Homo-oligomer: A and B are copies of this chain.
């Protein structure tokens, strides 16, 4: 993913967001490889719109994935390889996590400090 923009190129709202807040346990324990694989898998799921992720040096991270609708999110949650990753997350990778499913109603943004305003998408 290093070659891609960290911003998700989402369409005009409405669409859905899954906000995943987590604190990692110490050590990698296969986490980085799993995380990369899950992004690959998610991107192939019907209704996937994009993903954004950041984790600070303190181990606290936020990942927001964007989906066309609630049904797409349910299908991704039940995907077999993802289920196994969720189980490993609960058992090993995350000291704490919180998941919030939200319906995006408005969106706007701007690229380039002092640059032109980007198209508003709401």
Contacts and interface: CB of A to CB of B under 8 A. Distances in A.
A60 B5 CA distance: 10
Interface residues of A, number: 48
A27 B50 CA distance: 29
Main secondary structure of the interface of A (DSSP, over half): strand
Given A13-B100, A90-B113, A96-B109, 16 more contacts: A7-B98, A25-B113, A54-B56, A54-B60, A57-B57, A62-B63, A70-B105, A92-B114, A93-B113, A95-B111, A95-B112, A96-B110, A96-B111, A97-B109, A99-B108, A100-B106
Interface of A: 6-8, 10, 13, 17, 19, 21, 23, 25, 52-58, 60-64, 70, 90-114
